[in-house]
Amino acid sequence: MFVGVAASRVKDLFASARSFAPSIIFIDEIDAIGSKRGGPDIGGGGAEREQGLLQILTEMDGFKEFTSQVLVIGATNRLDILDPALLRKGRFDKIVRVGLPSKDGRLAILMVHARNKFFRSEKERDALLQEIAELTEDFTGAELQGILTARKDLDYIGREELLEALKRQKGTFETGQEDSTEIPEELKLRLAYREAAVAVLACYLPDPFRPFTETDINSITSQPNMRYAETAGRIFARKSDYVNSIVRACAPRVIEEEMFGVNNMCWISAKATLEASRHAEFLILQTGMTAFGKAFYRKHNDLVPNLAAKLEALRDEYMQYAVEKCSSVLREYHSAVETITDILLEKGQIEASEIWDIYKRAPRIPQPTVNPVDEYGALIYAGRWGIHGITLPGRVTFAPGNVGFATFGAPRPMETQVVSDETWKLMDGIWDQRVQEIRSEASMEIEEEKERPQLLMASHFL
């Protein structure tokens, strides 16, 4: 490039734009010429680039004619490396962040790229593009265009072709080819049971913010293969949503233990308990919705040792509840689990509509009621509010000597929150029984004393 060419071209560009006013100058990837001056390439082509940048600064700062009506727009993904002089007021007055398209935006983009594509009918095209727009949360315009890229030599685009292209865009196939790895039959059976359990729990405790779309057993990972469609907008999760996420996360571990036994488990459910534990810790530490208190703790390491013990007790309580609830649901819908497993073994995948149909039609096996989470009971067990040597209804058993009250953490609850009327009756019964045992022991000692011969000491008698 000849010296001065960049500045000359910039000058000619702005002169041409003024001659066609009103006009727009759009500079794509403006960071290529507008990056900060004084960089490491100043001795090479950087000097020429800076000459072009200086000419842009001069042109944008020297609009003498207010009737010229020339609008300059630049686009970049590297706002952090642009020269500060380029971003000051008077040159670029506004910085507009262009985010990912919404559902309506994705549909409009798909309609643009589908103009020259062939569908069986306009009605089918609109329905298919509407479905794809719902399933492509966090997709960019380029990724949406890739879904409609021609691949097979067919006369029309159908639903199967679009869903296959969607899987490829989501990274289902690492190399662009279908995975042909042979999966052992035993591992395939474990994968099918895992995905079936995850599907049943997703139906029983549906996530209002992430409806599932389909699942398969085509890939071997420690995470479930269930795919979800993100909902647009802000998420306002309630405490019940957090608790349900803990229960759903336990499904892979629980089903493998139920079907193959504790001593015959493998790595495909290894991360299930880890994910459930993370959900529980997030609920306890960062939401302020539990008896642990309303303070915010970013990490487990932020806790003092005394509070760490309370966290472990409360987390274990939630984990035990989640495992019991998950096991109860899977036993209740055992028929649905087996049906979904058979379909996965036969076809390799199953869609959400078929999963919901199986779930709603499956016969149910009634199960005992699962005791709810006893947050205050767990904290009592951890030594927060001590009750000496008793056993309360639920999961918590209190050992003798666990006595005392500490002032840190959440405030002490009212007595009606700590124990119920049935609990007080149980405590009174334990006390009455103990009193009766003491009386019986005392009576036995008195009877033994009566049976012993009495010896009178009369050494001082005459």
Looking at residue 213, its pLDDT comes to: 85
pLDDT along the chain (462 residues), means of 10: 71 87 88 78 64 84 65 87 84 83 86 85 86 81 81 78 76 47 81 93 90 85 82 77 93 91 82 88 86 74 72 88 94 94 90 92 92 84 49 43 38 43 64 76 70 50 38
Looking at residue 424, its pLDDT comes to: 58
Known catalytic residue at 332: no
Number of helical H runs and strand E runs in the chain:
18, 5
Report the C-alpha gap between 100 and 157 in whole angstroms: 26
Q: Phi first, then psi: what are they for 125, rounded to 5°?
A: -60, -45
Is residue 57 within 8 A of residue 86, CB to CB? The reply is yes
Is residue 103 within 8 A of residue 138, CB to CB? The reply is no
Tell me the CA distances in angstroms from 79 to 89, 169, 272, 352, one per residue in order.
15, 27, 40, 41
Looking at residue 174, its pLDDT comes to: 43
Looking at residue 44, its pLDDT comes to: 53
What is the SS3 assignment for 168? helix
Task: Go through the domains of the chain in sequence order and give each one's CATH number.
Answer: 5-87 (3.40.50.300), 103-169 (1.10.8.60), 185-361 (1.20.58.760), 376-444 (no CATH)
Q: Determine which one of 59, 195, 256, 375 is catalytic.
A: 195
Tell me the CA distances in angstroms from 415 to 11, 287, 288, one per residue in order.
81, 24, 21
Looking at residue 420, its pLDDT comes to: 52
